[in-house]
Amino acid sequence: MDVQTWTYIIVGVTFAIYIGIAIWSRAGSTKDFYVAGGGVPPLANGMATAADWMSAASFISMAGIISFAGYDGAVYLMGWTGGYVLLALLLAPYLRKFGKFTVPDFIGDRYYSNTARTVAVVCALFVSFTYVAGQMRGVGVVFSRFLEVDINSGVYIGMFIVFIYAVLGGMKGITYTQVAQYVILIFAFMVPAIFISIQLTNNPIPQLGFGGTINGSETYLLDKLNGLHEELGFAAYTNGNKALIDVFFITFALMVGTAGLPHVIVRFFTVPKVSDARISAGYALVFIAILYTTAPAVAAFARTNLIQTVSNEEYASMPGWFNNWEKTGLLSFTDKNNDGIIQYVADAETNELVIDRDIMVLANPEIANLPNWVVALVAAGGLAAALSTAAGLLLVISTSVSHDLIKKQFAPDISDAKELWVARGSAVIAVIIAGYFGINPPGFVAAVVALAFGLAAASFFPAIILGIFYQRMNKEGAIAGMISGLGITLLYMLIFKFNLFGETTSADWWFGVSPEGFGTIGMLINFAVSFAVSSATKAPPQEVQEMVDNIRFPRGAGEAHNH
């Protein structure tokens, strides 16, 4: 069977599973809708958290970034993995013990202020919409290539699927759907990685193949790749070009930004006990590590196969995958010297091949000439990764509106049934807006995603950490810190990412820190302002200080304190 038939079968089966689970586990109350009734077993929650965590960025983009940037791409690997560890160990168990549904809920109650809650809602909405635009675009790219529909139609199909299980099932439907999506995405990532590792290095474990020698020779895979890179004028694959300070700041911004991501934090509210939050965090780390330790190997395999397939080869003799990706516009060849041979080199003047790095994971099985069912499986995996995160983000958007704005501020007496309708209505509107951004992505989606991480790092993270670990932190300090951290980070991004006051170069960056890494400085400013303002204003009320003590107090850790 051809790739398209296999794709229809495998994607069709996976979509049927998702919709079936949503109908089986539909939400009957706001507690079901927000936190799946608080009764998800730790193993299932670990898988769901891993699926929520590993978005289209992890599945599709990360190996693509490493494939092209080599050593420099590792900042994403370190930042995202480190961020998860930080979240799991430092934040999740305490937030679970606090027993709230959302991050703005925690900030609003901990800082006894609706102003703080509203600032947190704005941050949550900004971060979530930014992310979800990228997920919907990822869905469109997968559909456009493998079902041969245009990208916009692909986004509509994705909207419809997410709409059914996010709006109907809420967190309960999303949780069990994400368990299925984790199984599908990890299978889809590992199967081609194992096949190609055997092809290139005769080792079935990609992580070991990555550091091994190429079949039938004494040459190490990475030495071969360095040689291919240098022949074409690229920097050696294993050398980094970024300044060390920038690597540190980007990694740290990704870490603390990731640890403040609301759609992952909310997952830890779905387990019965605080101890279960710790256990599910450990499971999720293992499940995430399977993909994250494989990504550098996939990147190196794809890069090696790509260069050997296309460089200095005749355009007319390119295999079918090349023409298929050309149709999507994500790969293009311009024969500048009219010799019919593809010049793929670092020099922009003579280079004739332009490749979108996001296609590397999806095209990898085709470049390596793997069976058609493997190619279709990767398409299903990419969709699972994008849809699982999109659903988690849409839930954050709907709960921020229905719970943190409507219930907590405008209509405190709203009934449970009405609140559930508001939550579902918010999810419907969020799906429509997300679809719009998927079809009309701002030209700077990648830039805005970096901005989202920076904003999460500069706003949420200090407020959550100080809320848990510093009794004396009051509402004035937290609000001033969040606004100043957000403000300076946003200003820096506008100046150096979007050229608000004219063209800028890396020579103009403050302290040599790129816009992607500036969230770290925003976070430090937030901490400094929070401490300064809180020490100059009156302490929080006694009951708030006791509540902070109670969050950290180990006694009764088996029970959640639902206020």
Residue 503's SS3 state is coil
What pLDDT is recorded for position 120? 85
Confidence band, pLDDT 50/70/90 cuts, at residue 563: very low
The domain ranges of the chain are: 3-307+327-332+358-441
Is the distance from CB of 188 to CB of 60 less than 8 angstroms? no
Confidence band, pLDDT 50/70/90 cuts, at residue 148: confident
Cα–chain-centroid distance for residue 519?
Answer: 17
The pTM for the full model equals: 0.84
Instruction: State pLDDT tens for residues 387-426.
Output: 878 877 887 788 888 877 888 888 888 887 888 888 888 8
Separation of first and last alpha carbons in the chain: 57
Q: How far apart are CA 441 and CA 435, in angstroms?
A: 10
Q: How far apart are CA 458 and CA 481, in angstroms?
A: 9
Q: How far apart are CA 62 and CA 72, in angstroms?
A: 12
Instruction: State pLDDT tens for residues 92-102.
Output: 778 778 776 67
pLDDT above 90: residue 484: yes
Instruction: State pLDDT tens for residues 55-73.
Output: 777 888 888 888 888 888 8
What pLDDT is recorded for position 292? 92
Phi (first) and psi of residue 353, to 5 degrees: -120, 125
* Pick from 145-149, 208-212, 493-497: least confident: 145-149
pLDDT above 80: residue 11: yes
Instruction: State pLDDT tens for residues 168-199.
Output: 666 777 788 888 889 999 999 999 999 999 99
Looking at residue 540, the DSSP 8-state letter turns out to be P
Structure tokens at 105: 């809920």
Q: Which CATH number fits domain 3-307+327-332+358-441: 1.25.40.80, 1.10.10.1200, 1.20.1730.10, 2.60.120.10?
A: 1.20.1730.10
pLDDT above 70: residue 37: no
Other beta carbons within 10 angstroms of residue 466's beta carbon come to: 24
pLDDT above 90: residue 216: no
Strongest mean pLDDT among 22-36, 98-112, 342-356: 342-356
Phi (first) and psi of residue 75, to 5 degrees: -60, -35
pLDDT above 70: percentage of residues in the chain: 92
Helices of type H across 202-273: 206-209, 221-231, 244-259, 262-265
Q: Comparing 61 with 374, which gets the higher pLDDT?
A: 374
